[in-house]
Chain A
Amino acid sequence: MEIAFLLAALVSVACVTLICVFLLANGVPAMREIGFFDFLLGRTWKPGADIYGIFPMIVGSIYVTGLALLMGVPIALLTAVYLAYFCPKRIYRMIKPAIELLAGIPSVVYGFFGIVVLVPLVRALGEPFDGRGNSILTASMLLAIMILPTIIGVVEPAIRAVPRSYYEGSLALGATHERSVFAAVMPAARSGVQAGIVLGLGRAMGETMAVIMVAGNQARMPKGIFQGIRTLTGNIVMEMGYATGLHREALIATGVVLFVFILLINLAFSALKRRDAR
């Protein structure tokens, strides 16, 4: 029976191996055929003409993710600080489970909210700049909202794990509550904070459905935050339905690039978490 348990444990190892093998086996030949650098750095994606450059999508993913972090991280961190050090117990008991619940809202529901609320809003905002509703800004606003529960969920416990004695030591020196939290407690929670941000980064970069519902999905280099963009994830979903031959393999290769990005991000996350545990 121990063997059966061992085999079950090895299933996850087998899965990771299979995922790597299948993605690489189906994606790498296409990269070779297209040319590794032409594929990664090519600025044109025209499947009709057999031109497959995913640089616009890489840049698109980075833009959207970066902007989402820029908007989401400060709010998430300050909210985590609020929950750990400012929130009356009575309110905490209501807000905390609510935020946890919201982490489970499906991407499509977020995406739909983006379509019906954020797109018109951004369209109005972008009017003077000849902007679109489906744009980089819309996608990153939506992602910023989506990563709030993710980041808060990692950072708040990290702040709480900082020994209370740092906070009290600072108060006893005559520092205000706020200064004690931000100058004595937060530096000690640094790696937890970083881990939270990296996790949010991974979530934002890997998010698919919500983003394609609001990003416009034009496969071209970004032309400003009020214009549409396509991300790596979007590229796969938009065209996989009808692609064949090299086009299809190029889409799988796009998945490989995304996978590598995510693996690097996860590596950073677990390294930070391990440092936090010490």
Chain B
Amino acid sequence: MKKRSRHPGSALLRLAVHAAAGTTVLVLGFLVGYILVRGVPNLRPALFAPTYTSENQSMLPAIVNTCTMTLCALLLAVPVGIGASVYMVEYAGRGSRIVRLVRTTTETLSGIPSIVYGLFGMLLFNNAMGFGYSLIAGALTLSIMILPLIMRTTEEALLSVPDLYREGSFGLGAGKLRTVFAIVLPTALPGILSGVILAIGRIVGETAALMYTSGTVAKIAGLSDSGITLALHMYKQASEGLYIEEAYATSVVLLVLVLLINFASGRVAARIGGKRG
């Protein structure tokens, strides 16, 4: 018994598991590291000049547009998403047909690729509603795209509010609506917030849904004007092949921004987890 009997199959499996995990970590780490190392030296102050010219590929207009876009899309999607989740969790009976229908459609929405959203947004907002290439058309499109994400995280947050709280509020004679707004939503706030932050990350990184809705004009845009966002700006630079250095710089900004946003969402979510655990 003392002699270690050999298990060649097991050793092979162990090797495969470690090799795969190593590959995953190496590849993803290399990707981030490569972009950072090659990109950071290309970050020049001129790239943040107030206007974009073909000589100076300033990303400032794109950054401003991205902020406008994010804000608009959130203003549209967050109230609807939270309202919908409140209905699903607080009002509808479990297993009601509406709940099942809404759940199915939300799942469907979350699986639709962004290019299909882009096509749809172009057909409905740009053409049928006559907005043309505009930030608002892009924001409307993105608001539909992030709706399922906001609904899912909000629902989870609402479900994790203990029923004791609700009963306590009802016991004091508060109505359903007051209970929802005074007790349930504030308690669920961190969970909702982490979902919203995640949605910001998706908006900032989105390209395919915006190309034919908000368009690609590189200037600071009003709501009804076409305006490029940072991710599209970077796509243009990279695919035209003329501005690779600038593309490196833009990709650093984009990457760091999205990683920070997702990190923040994780921290917010971890805080509630920690408080409860």
Chain A: residues with CB nearer than 8 A to chain B? 1-2, 4-13, 15-16, 18-19, 22-23, 26, 74-79, 81-83, 86-87, 95, 97-102, 104-113, 115-117, 145, 148-149, 152, 176-179, 182, 202, 205-209, 212-213, 233, 236-237, 240-241, 252, 255, 258-259, 262-263, 265-266, 269-270
Contacts and interface: CB of A to CB of B under 8 A. Distances in A.
Interface in B93-144: 98, 101-102, 104-109, 111-117, 119-120, 122-124, 128, 144
Given A19-B117, A78-B17, A263-B108, 8 more contacts: A8-B87, A79-B23, A81-B17, A178-B9, A178-B11, A206-B114, A208-B208, A252-B123
B165 interface: no
Contacts of B102: 9-10, 12-13
B207 A152 contact: no
A56 to B, nearest CB: 18
Nearest to A14: B105
Nearest to A97: B266
Nearest to B90: A5
A15 B125 CA distance: 13
Contacts of A87: 21
B161 to A, nearest CB: 16
A187 B51 CA distance: 58
Contacts, number: 255
B254 A108 contact: yes
Contacts of A19: 112, 116-117, 120
A178 B119 contact: no
A23 B123 contact: yes
Interface of B: 7, 9-11, 13-14, 16-21, 23-25, 27-29, 31-32, 34-35, 38, 79-84, 86-88, 90-92, 98, 101-102, 104-109, 111-117, 119-120, 122-124, 128, 144, 147-148, 151, 176-177, 198, 201-202, 204-208, 211-212, 231-232, 234-235, 238-239, 244, 247-248, 251, 254-255, 258-259, 261-263, 266
B258 A105 contact: yes
A106 B258 contact: yes
Contact of B148 (A12, A115, A206): A12
A76 B24 contact: yes
Contacts of A208: 113-115, 207-208
Contacts of A106: 204-207, 231, 254-255, 258
Nearest to B31: A113
Contacts of B25: 95, 98
B115 A258 contact: yes
Given A8-B80, A12-B105, A99-B28, A22 B34 contact: no
A215 to B, nearest CB: 12
A136 to B, nearest CB: 18
Contacts of A11: 80, 84, 147
A97 B259 CA distance: 11
Contacts of B151: 12
A10 to B, nearest CB: 7
A115 B238 contact: yes
B147 to A, nearest CB: 6
29 contacts: A5-B87, A8-B82, A8-B87, A9-B88, A11-B80, A13-B105, A15-B144, A76-B24, A95-B21, A97-B266, A98-B29, A102-B31, A105-B258, A106-B207, A106-B254, A108-B205, A109-B234, A149-B28, A179-B9, A206-B114, A206-B115, A208-B208, A212-B239, A213-B235, A233-B208, A237-B208, A252-B123, A262-B113, A262-B116
B212 A241 contact: yes
A171 B29 CA distance: 35
Q: Which of A26, A109, A113, A152 has the most CB of B within 10 A?
A: A109
A209 B208 contact: yes
Contact of A178 (B13, B108, B117, B234): B13
A74 B84 contact: no
A198 to B, nearest CB: 10
B24 A75 contact: yes
Contacts of A262: 111-113, 116
A105 B28 CA distance: 10
Contacts of B147: 11-12, 15
A12 B147 CA distance: 8
Given A19-B112, A19-B120, A113-B35, A213 B238 contact: yes
Contacts of A110: 31
Nearest to A261: B113
Given A105-B258, A116-B38, A209-B207, A258 B116 contact: yes
A83 B21 contact: yes
Contacts of B120: 18-19, 22-23
A22 B255 CA distance: 34
Contact of B91 (A2, A182, A233): A2
A240 to B, nearest CB: 5
A99 B259 CA distance: 11
